[in-house]
Amino acid sequence: MRPIRKGVKAGMSNKGNQWTACLLAGLLLTTALQGTALAAEQKGEQAEKIQQEITQVDKELQDTLQTMQDLEAELTAGMKEKEKMKGEIAALEQRIEKHREKLKERVKVMYEKGDVSFWEVLFQATDFSDFLERLQMLSMIVEQDQELIDQLRADQEQLKVTKAKLDAQQKARRAKQEELRKTEQDLQAKAKNLKGDLAEALAAPAEDQMVVEQAYQNYTGPQFIQSVAGNGSYAWPVPSSFAISSGYGMRGSEFHKGIDISAPIGTPFVAVADGVVVQAGSASGYGHWIVIDHGGGVTSVYGHMYGNGIYVSTGQTVRQGQVIGATGNDGYSTGPHLHLSMQSGGGYVNPLAFLQ
Ligand SMILES: [Zn+2]
């Protein structure tokens, strides 16, 4: 962080006291900034570590959910398979029952009541050997019936064994599912805790930032003249006033993205550096504004003017120190002042770090 030095610029009475006040403010601010920079760095590292842990836990969670999904599919398939087997076992039972009935009927007819066709078959024998052949054939029919029943019974037994295996498999799957549910819950809880830690780690530097901004607010009242050394090469925008009525940083619940330099309505202000006007006209919140692009990703924004306080137009090239407008009291503003914002590298920066 760039060290900030404060000094008296010009045209002030009671210089000694103000110098002391500014110096004190500068020292306090420098200490606060250094402390905050260190704390912010440590917290940044901590946040990064937590973020890595979150990524890891999220990955584990994704893997667990994927495994659970696969298992769910296996359980569903297993259930369908079981239903199919149950149906097959029942169908086999029906077939066995049917063949048993048939056999029972046949045997009853053959040996108890006497079956006409059975005796007919035998009596139609042409000789004794033919008779024996026919008798054998008839008992073979009975035998085949029995064999078929035995075969069906064996198939059914086999199916029952397979189904029992499947039952055991399904039971193991359900146990695994229960285990995965617990793992998932643990991981969710872990992720939630880590996200809480991260939010805390990220929120803390903002609190520190507020302390620094508060230091600005406390020690840069309008009675003090501000000057920032550093590498600032940009011109002070209001040559006739150095009074900052509101600093860069937290202001109540919102972040003030610039500095307010109080000056009576109609006070001329200048471009802080060479550049090209990219906006000049009305803007929401600013009343009217001018935006200058200085190249290298640096832009300056001047706000709260009246429409007739804009002396430049879009596309115009301006020089550092050139008068570009006059202060007003337009837009969300509490008193006549020039609002100055500066952007660098795509974000707002404290303009004091850029100004001479
Ligand atoms: Zn402002």
Could you report the per-residue pLDDT of 231-284, keeping only the tens digit for each?
568 889 998 888 888 888 887 777 888 898 988 888 899 999 999 999 898 876
CA of 16 to the centre of ligand 1 (A): 29
Burial string for 105-136 (b: 16+ CB within 10 Å, else e) reads: ebeeebeeeebeebeeeeeeeeeeeeeeebee
- Per the CB < 8 A criterion, the answer to whether 323 and 295 are in contact is no
Interval between CA 348 and ligand 1 midpoint (Å): 13
Q: How remote is the CA of residue 214 from the centroid of ligand 1, in Å?
A: 16
- CA of 320 relative to ligand 1 center, distance in Å: 21
Bridging pattern class, strands 244-246 and 258-262: antiparallel
C-alpha 355 – ligand 1 centre gap (Å):
16
Class of domain 220-353: mainly beta
Q: Which residue has the higher pLDDT, 167 or 125?
A: 167
Q: What is the pLDDT of residues 9-21, one digit of tens each?
A: 333 334 344 444 4
Q: With cut-offs at 50, 70 and 90, classify the pLDDT of residue 183.
A: very high
| pLDDT tens profile 305-328 | 888 889 999 999 999 999 999 988
Count CB neighbours of 152 within 10 A.
20
Selection from 303, 311, 351 nearest residue 328 by Cα? 303
Going from the Cα of 207 to the center of ligand 1, the distance in angstroms, rounded, reads 21
Centroid of ligand 1 to alpha carbon of 43 (angstroms) = 30
- The pLDDT score that the predictor gives to residue 272 is 94
Comparing CA positions, the residue from 334, 331, 330 lying closest to residue 251 is 334
Share of the chain above pLDDT 90, in %: 32
Cα(259) to ligand 1 centroid in Å equals 6
Residue 156 has pLDDT above 70, yes or no: yes
Half-sphere exposure of 13 (CA within 13 A, CB side): 0
For residue 152, the CA-to-ligand 1 centroid distance in Å is: 93
In the prediction, which pLDDT does 20 show? 41
Given this model, what pLDDT does residue 333 score? Answer: 61
